[in-house]
């Protein structure tokens, strides 16, 4: 266990930093491209680097999600459904009911989008329940990989990438449903309005400032909320792993049980906010 091999403060600090470091690939200062062998090298690579472990696990989990529902659709029957079909139908019907209650427009995109987000985010969050050293140590011993973070939702690049994708859909459908004039009016004629045209013109900059801040805060809060909750949960698991072996089960098991609620709740919140934001994009005043 970590507590057995990390007796001092320096070792404990190194253990924490190691587990919070992604497997990063990018351009080194001398111009060649490759994998970073330390946190300092990863920082030097700058914006255009990529976290290979986050990409690998998120794509793998997304592929498993697609494979599961493909198998469920392939084996679907009008008779007595099997376990896979029954579970898939329960998921689809549950998300569909939530969409019907929260989304008041007409779109064939929102249901599949909500289902994809709910299941994909849940699977990424679920990786936090795997023992903290199991997959990183396996990757190190089998493949010689020094760094391996297995929870994609603890990488702000992943969570912000998903939230910015939702934001792009919001902007697209805002223009499509309201038109450029309607969308501009939404940003400049609310929350303060007046019948007098001169007063309207005076209020436009104030309205635009308030509305643009509100608009931009949506993807930021959406991505950072998921990242912050899962990052904190992962950090607590790392700290528990530093305790003596006899104390670890006493804390890790209760925290894992509590964390099950966190990973489900965060997936649900991300899905719900996506539906709400898309509903706002489809609304015309």
* Domains: count for the chain: 1
Instruction: Confirm whether 221 is a catalytic residue.
Output: yes
Annotated catalytic residue within 225, 252, 279, 284: 225
Q: State the distance between the two ends of the chain, measured CA to CA, in whole angstroms.
A: 59
pLDDT band at 105 (very low <50, low <70, confident <90, very high): confident
Instruction: Confirm whether 163 is a catalytic residue.
Output: no
Instruction: Confirm whether 229 is a catalytic residue.
Output: yes
Q: Give tens-digit pLDDT for 130-187.
A: 999 999 999 999 999 989 999 999 999 999 999 999 999 999 999 999 889 989 988 8
- DSSP letter string over 89-139? HHHHHHHHHHHHHH--S--SSHHHHHHHHHHHHHHHHHGGGS-TTHHHHHH
Give the pair of three-digit tokens for residue 137. 């140590």
The reply to whether omega before 191 is within 30° of 0 (cis) is yes
Annotated catalytic residue within 49, 54, 163, 229: 229
User: Which residue segment(s) compose the domain that 97 sits in?
Assistant: 2-282
Q: Give tens-digit pLDDT for 135-147.
A: 999 999 999 998 9
Annotated catalytic residue within 63, 97, 214, 221: 221
Q: Alpha-carbon distance 93 to 258, whole Å?
A: 27
**What confidence score (pLDDT) does residue 198 get?**
85
């Amino acid at each position: 266990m970590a507590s057995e091999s990390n007796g001092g403060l320096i070792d404990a600090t190194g253990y924490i930093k190691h587990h919070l470091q992604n497997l990063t690939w990018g351009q080194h200062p001398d111009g060649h491209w490759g994998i970073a062998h330390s946190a300092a090298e990863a920082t030097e690579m700058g914006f255009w680097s990529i976290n290979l472990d986050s990409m690998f696990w998120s794509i793998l989990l997304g592929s498993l999600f697609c494979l599961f529902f493909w198998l469920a659709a392939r084996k679907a029957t009008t008779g007595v459904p099997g376990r896979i079909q029954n579970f898939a139908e329960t998921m689809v019907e549950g998300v569909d009911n939530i969409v019907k209650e929260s989304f008041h427009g007409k779109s064939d995109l929102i249901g599949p989008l909500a289902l994809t987000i709910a299941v994909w985010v849940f699977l990424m969050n679920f990786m936090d329940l795997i023992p903290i050293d199991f997959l990183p140590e396996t990757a190190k011993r089998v493949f010689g990989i020094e760094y391996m973070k297995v929870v994609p939702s603890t990488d702000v690049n992943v969570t912000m990438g998903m939230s910015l994708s939702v934001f792009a859909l919001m902007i697209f459908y805002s223009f499509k449903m309201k038109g450029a004039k309607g969308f501009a009016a939404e940003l400049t004629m609310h929350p303060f309005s007046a019948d007098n045209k001169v007063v309207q013109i005076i209020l436009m900059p104030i309205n635009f400032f308030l509305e643009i801040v509100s608009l931009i805060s949506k993807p930021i809060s959406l991505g950072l909320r998921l990242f912050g909750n899962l990052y904190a949960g992962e950090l607590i698991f790392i700290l528990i792993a530093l305790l003596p072996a006899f104390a670890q089960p006493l804390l890790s098991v209760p925290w894992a049980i509590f964390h099950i609620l966190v990973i489900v709740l965060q997936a649900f919140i991300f899905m719900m906010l996506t539906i709400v934001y898309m509903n706002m994009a489809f609304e015309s005043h």
